[in-house]
């Protein structure tokens, strides 16, 4: 296992762009003239990208300064952020805990104060999970809202580019840069929230959410979405199918880590055409259920992670840790926007309140997060 290192937050320090906001960029996103290596030795000889990803053009056009390419879980296919090839980024606020994956370096760069915001990607929780682990905000936008041109893998029905930030306001600023149609808003009423009950959540995490909602006092009612566990399993089938097609050929490269190779090979065997068809049926059904649950509400809320992040010393192989994403992966499948608001347990460990909104309604989602954050007393947030 790799020892965490602050130097592992960025795999390629840079100084590109203007003198505006500092931005770290996950190394699955192309920057012209630089290789995109995705945290793996299997791409050590990758040629320089011929053009910027669309999101890179957007941040440069806004006068931002790109401070570097951020580290990640190898090939963006893991949830802990532990990477024996490029190093494991230090979790700046909770150094004995994993930074979360796969966008580990992006989250850590914001938590460390190195970047004003960072770009990550989220196929099965890969923005929300590391944001939760590192005690910051992370937003997975509506699927398809932010361009993925120039982002690895080139084709995905789950993956989204999105921002990390230390505040909801900076999330809104980042979204406006990434999508000129985004217009920030402020809530003019107490947010109406539907609380989803999820089985198997650690008492410390449930207690942190209870305390936060009791302190902020939004209008909360019970809500339900049938099939969230089915959506989790269906999301795994889809990601296994799409990653097998996109990066499966790299399993023959000796530079690929054994853990990632084993997960890719195992996943390819389960992602049969029949399993994919069944997963797509779950996608349609649960998407409709989430839409229905949001009727009359500003957002749904549930834990970002079912437990506090594992200790770095106890982080095991990637397949065993996938359950970390049990509460986030469904919303990759359905395509709804979701963000994580950082909380602290009674023992001072990181937890997250996941807030899920209507498709295309990121502005309302961020406004809800800002309202809640402003109402929380000291000690409930990192």
Q: Facing residues of 311 across strands?
A: 97
Longest CA–CA separation in the chain, Å: 57
Q: Which two tokens stand for residue 262?
A: 């084993």
Return the residue matching tokens 């606020």: 93
Instruction: Tell me the pairing of strands 65-70 and 22-26.
Output: parallel
User: Do the Cβ atoms of 30 and 51 come closer than 8 Å?
Assistant: yes
User: Do the Cβ atoms of 341 and 355 come closer than 8 Å?
Assistant: yes
Q: Is 126 a catalytic residue?
A: yes
Taking residue 64's Cβ as centre, other Cβ atoms within 10 Å add up to 23
Q: Is 157 a catalytic residue?
A: no
Name which of 84, 48, 103 is nearest 256 in CA terms. 84
Name which of 67, 374, 21 is nearest 178 in CA terms. 21
Active site residue: 26, 69, 140, 359, which one? 26
Active site residue: 102, 103, 104, 156, which one? 102
Return the residue matching tokens 């003239």: 33
Active site residue: 103, 104, 109, 126, which one? 126
Query: Which of left, alpha, beta for 227 (phi over 0: left; psi -120 to 50: alpha)?
Result: left
Q: Is 102 a catalytic residue?
A: yes
Instruction: Tell me the pairing of strands 350-356 and 299-303.
Output: antiparallel
Q: CA-CA distances (angstroms) from residue 366 to 38, 108, 169? A: 29, 21, 8
Q: Is the peptide bond before 153 cis (omega within 30 degrees of 0)?
A: yes
User: Do the Cβ atoms of 158 and 243 come closer than 8 Å?
Assistant: no
Catalytic residue set:
26, 102, 126
């Amino acid at each position: 296992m790799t020892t965490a290192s602050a130097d592992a937050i960025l795999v390629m320090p840079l100084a590109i762009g203007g003198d505006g906001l500092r931005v770290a960029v996950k190394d699955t996103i192309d920057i012209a003239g630089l290789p995109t290596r995705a945290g793996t030795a299997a791409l050590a000889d990758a040629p320089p990208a011929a053009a910027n990803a669309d999101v890179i053009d957007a941040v440069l056009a806004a006068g931002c300064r790109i401070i570097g390419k951020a580290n990640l879980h190898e090939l963006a296919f893991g949830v802990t952020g532990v990477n024996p090839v490029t190093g494991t980024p230090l979790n700046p606020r909770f150094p004995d805990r994993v930074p979360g994956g796969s966008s580990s370096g992006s989250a850590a760069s914001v938590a460390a104060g190195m970047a004003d915001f960072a770009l990550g990607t989220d196929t099965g929780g890969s923005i929300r999970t590391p944001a939760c682990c590192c005690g910051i905000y992370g937003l997975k936008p509506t699927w398809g809202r932010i361009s993925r041109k120039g982002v690895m893998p080139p084709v995905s029905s789950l993956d989204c580019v999105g921002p990390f930030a230390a505040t909801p306001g900076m999330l809104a600023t980042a979204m406006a840069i990434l999508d000129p149609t985004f217009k920030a808003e402020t809530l003019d009423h107490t947010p109406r929230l539907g609380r989803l009950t999820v089985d198997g959540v650690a008492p410390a995490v449930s207690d942190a959410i209870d305390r936060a909602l009791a302190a902020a006092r939004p209008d909360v009612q019970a809500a339900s979405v049938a099939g969230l566990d089915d959506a989790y399993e269906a999301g795994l089938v889809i990601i296994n199918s799409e990653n097998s097609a996109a990066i499966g050929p790299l399993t023959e490269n000796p530079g690929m880590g054994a853990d990632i190779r084993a997960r890719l090979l195992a996943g390819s065997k389960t992602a049969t055409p029949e399993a994919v068809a069944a997963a797509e049926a779950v996608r349609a059904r649960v998407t409709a259920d989430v839409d229905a649950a949001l009727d009359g509400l500003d957002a749904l809320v549930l834990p970002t992670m079912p437990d506090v992040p594992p200790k770095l010393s106890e982080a095991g192989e990637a397949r065993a840790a996938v359950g970390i994403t049990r509460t986030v992966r469904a919303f990759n499948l359905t395509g709804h926007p979701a963000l994580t608001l950082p909380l602290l347990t009674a023992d001072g460990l990181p937890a997250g309140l996941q807030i899920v909104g209507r498709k295309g309604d990121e502005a309302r989602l961020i406004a809800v997060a800002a309202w809640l954050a402003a109402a929380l007393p000291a000690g409930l947030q990192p």
